Structures are given as C-alpha cells and as structure tokens.
Amino acid sequence: MCLIAGGIGEVRERLIRMALAGKHRGPDSFGVWTDGGVLKSNDFSRLGEVPDGKIGILQCRLAMTGSKTFTQPFVNELALVHNGEIYNHIQIRNFLEGRGVSFESDVDTEVILRLIEFLKERGLSFPHSVKEAMRWLEGDYAVAFSDGERIYLFRDPVGIRPLYFSPNGFFASEKKVLWAIGERAIPVEPGELVVLGEGIRRARLFSLECLKGKTLSGESVLKGLENVLDYAVKLRSSQRTGILFSGGLDSTLIAYLASRHSDVVLYTAGTEDSPDLEWARKVSDHFGWELRERVFDLDDVEEAIKKVIFAIEEPNPMNLAIGIPLYFATGLAKRDGVKVLLSGQGADELFGGYAKYIERPELMWEDLLNIAERNLARDDKIAMLNEVEGRFPFLSLPVVGIALRTPGELKIAGGERKVILRRLALRLGVPEWIANREKKAMQYGSRAQKLLEKLAKREGLSLREFAEKLFRETFPNAF
C-alpha cells in the first residue's frame, strides 16, 4: 500500500509537496521519475534532489512485508507506479516468462508493467493494452504510467483503491494531496482509463455489467459461492490473518473461511456496552478465535475525531460515525504489527443486506456502482492512516460475478435478507444463532454514533453541522 501521485507541467516543486502531503500513506521510502531523471530513497530529506522535468510520477511506499527498500517507479520503455495488490501476479509472470519476457524483481508492480508492454508489442494501443490487462489482473489496484508524453491512470473495476485527478493534469491517491497543490480532485471511476496530456481524455474500459449473465440455480449459487469466496479469502490471507470483526454474518463468514488457511486474530472496537463488542465476544468464544478489543469512550472519540476527518476528507456524518470504530480497530492492529485486515465490506450491496432493498431491490446495483466513493475510499484512507491495508474478499470479481447471477429470492425472501449467505453459513457449520443475527450498522453497533451526537450537542450543533465545522477547520483550502 502506498501513495501514488504525479502530473504534467512544471512538476518538481509540486511532486515534493505532494510527497510530503501524502507521506502518511507510505512512510518507508519514496521513488520519483521525471523526464529529467529518477530518484529513489528511504530518506525523505532527499526530496529536494527530485530532478526537474515537465512530467513526473512518484510513489511513497509502506512496506507490507520484508525489506523497506524501494521498488517503484519501475522504468523501462514506460514508467509505472501502482497502489494495491495483484493476487494472481505469479500466474501472469509465469505466462509472460514462457513467452520470453524478463523480470528484474519478484513484485507484482513489475508484472503490471511487463503485461502492458507485452500487450502493446502485440500491436494494441495503450488504451486497448490497459483494457486487456484489466481482464487478466485479479486484485485491488490503482495504476499510473507514463510514456514520457502523457500519463495514463486506471483503477480496478470495483474501485477498491482510491485515485483522483485534477483538470490541470495532476493525480494522487487522496484528495488532500491534490488540495495541497491547489488542485481540485475528481475520482477516476472504477474500470476507467484517464489520459492526462493535451487536455483530459476519459474512457470506461471495464464495466461490472459484463459480469452479468444467465441466472444460476440455488444449488449452483451455493456451491459456486463457497468456492469463489473461499479462494478470494485464501488469496488475501497471510500466515496470521487479521479480521475486522463485529460478530455479524459477513465478518463471521470471512473469519471462518480464513481460519481454514491460517491462524486468525479478530479486531473489534466499541463502547463497553456496545452490541458489536458483546457479539464479537460471543462468536469468538464459540469458535475459539483470538479477539483483540479496543474499548473507547467519549474522551477517546473527541481525541480521534479530527484524525478521522483528516482521513475521510469529507464532512459526511455517516462516514465519520463508521470511521471512528474503524480507526480504533485498525490502530490496535497497527500496535500488534498486523498490516493486513480482511473485511466483509460489499456483502450487503451484493446479497441484499439493507432493509431498503426489500422494497427497492434495484438499489443493490446502484449501491454496488457507487461503493467505491461511498464506502471503499473511506475504509482505505482510515486504514492507511494507521499503516494497515484493508482487503475485501466479497469484492473479488468472481464473487461479484456469482452475486450478479444470483436469483433475487436468494437474496431477499419474505423480509429475510442475505438469504444465500445465511444458507452458506449454515452449510459451513456456523450455528443458527450466529447465521441469523439481524444486521446492525457499525455506527450503531459500536455506539460511535451516540457519542458523536453527544459531542455535537455539547457545541449546540447537529451532527451534520459538527462534521462540517470539523472539516472546514481541517481543510480550509479544500475544493
């Protein structure tokens, strides 16, 4: 996980300012490429040595495993930086090596670069090379590369990793990095290619619509879902896998499947009397899983609130309330040295978890298309503030594909929501009292909403007014 940023024009001073503004995403090392040269270092005091140029890209890296030495940008015929993970990079590497492609490293970023170069050499244009690469890549990614004249930006089809550009030809992983150089931030849409240089060009290369197909039968859904979700969890797990855990259906499924492949440690946060804490204790005790708790109170929330506003970059009261327990849980993981947490994010939008879907099931599709900016950007930025990477197995493209072909009655039936996930849980051996627990949103289950309302009331403000006040204080120059 990291910061990626860059732009076109007089870039040197702006690259330095962007690196400093986004260093929290990648404190271990940095790398900068401009058309005037390359600088890589784990000493941020050397940013003053960034080469002059008319075009440039950079990465500030958080080392997830092994050495903290730098690897990006990768520079060959193209210069490329990447934020995220490619989970099938070994298979792609083996394919390319079998066709004569040489590699300088064992990291997934180089696989993206070599794949695009390989496809380009087969006669495809850059846009078509990127479109074809998206069909190959299984993962969570935001990518920027340059041919020396233009900068090309693209995101994974779900939009798991954030990426923004400005009308004046700059880009960054977070809005605040663009605000720091006086630029407005526009999201790169999931599955979209944005080309910076001689204006802005945008093209949607991959739509989730293409994953729709013939509706599956009930048994096919159940078997298929177990297989693809289990594989998605396995790909995203490590030797000791952290789980963001509430004791609810989604996080229990993720924890159960992860426990097949590794030791798991669960992270939860809430007030001492919160339902999420109570349920997390009950469920973890039942399965014998290690549970790490961060109990917070009004003083803790008051101390953390500006940090959460800084992370989420918006005055949205709901995201603020969700962000509080997420901030505390990821902070606890950081203290434990756990750098990756799996989350059940996406299950509600895919399988009918919200009450509003009972009357309006079409909102599931709308919410899935908007999940990148509504939910994922928030979760990514808060986790990165604590130097932790969030991973989302439910949003693996094979899982999304199964969900989009699942019959409506296996999502919502007679007022019951997430029918197929409850059946899957029971099939796996999860007790009925866990599988049938009613959903409680994180902001309420953790009691964060209640504490935020107390803080707002103390200042004579509504929660929305309170959030807007904090936002203006934190980002006086936001666009």
Q: 347 — phi, psi (to 5°)?
A: -65, -40
Beta strand 240-244 with 340-342 is parallel
Residue given tokens 């509430």 in the structure block: 246
Q: For 143-191, how does the pLDDT look when each residue is reduced to its tens digit (9 = 90+)?
A: 999 999 999 999 999 999 999 999 999 999 999 999 999 999 999 999 9
pTM, full prediction: 0.94
Degrees to nearest 5, angle at CA 114 with 108 and 120? 140
- Integer Cα distance of 322 and 304 in angstroms: 13
Residue given tokens 């995101």 in the structure block: 155
- Architecture in CATH for domain 210-466: 3-Layer(aba) Sandwich (3.40)
If one counts every other C-beta atom within 10 angstroms of the C-beta of residue 9, the result is 13
CB 107 within 8 A of CB 67: no
Q: For 215-257, how does the pLDDT look when each residue is reduced to its tens digit (9 = 90+)?
A: 888 888 999 999 999 999 999 998 889 999 999 999 999 999 9
66 has pLDDT over 50:
no
What residues does 193 pair with on adjacent strands? 154, 203
Beta strand 412-413 with 416-417 is antiparallel
pLDDT average, residue stretch 67-77 = 73
Res. 271 pLDDT band, cuts 50 70 90? very high
pLDDT average, residue stretch 38-59 = 94
Same fold, 2-206 and 210-466: no
Q: What is the DSSP string of 201-250?
A: EEEE---GGGG--SPPPHHHHHHHHHHHHHHHHHHH--SEEEEE--SSHH
Classify residue 15 by its DSSP letter: H
Domain map of the chain by residue range?
2-206, 210-466
Classify residue 23 by its DSSP letter: G
CB 261 within 8 A of CB 233: yes
Inter-helix orientation angle 218-236/249-258, to 10°: 60
Q: Peptide bond before 190: cis, by omega within 30 degrees of 0?
A: no
At the top level of CATH, which class does the domain 2-206 belong to? alpha beta
Residue among 367, 343, 338 nearest 355 (CA): 367
CB 344 within 8 A of CB 266: no
- Integer Cα distance of 155 and 120 in angstroms: 19
Q: What is the pLDDT of residue 24?
A: 92
As a whole-number percent, the residues of the chain with pLDDT over 90 amount to 86
- Integer Cα distance of 267 and 171 in angstroms: 33
Degrees to nearest 5, angle at CA 427 with 423 and 432? 65
- Integer Cα distance of 268 and 326 in angstroms: 8
Residues in the chain: 479
Residue among 417, 463, 82, 478 nearest 248 (CA): 417
Q: 150 — phi, psi (to 5°)?
A: -130, 165
62 has pLDDT over 80:
yes
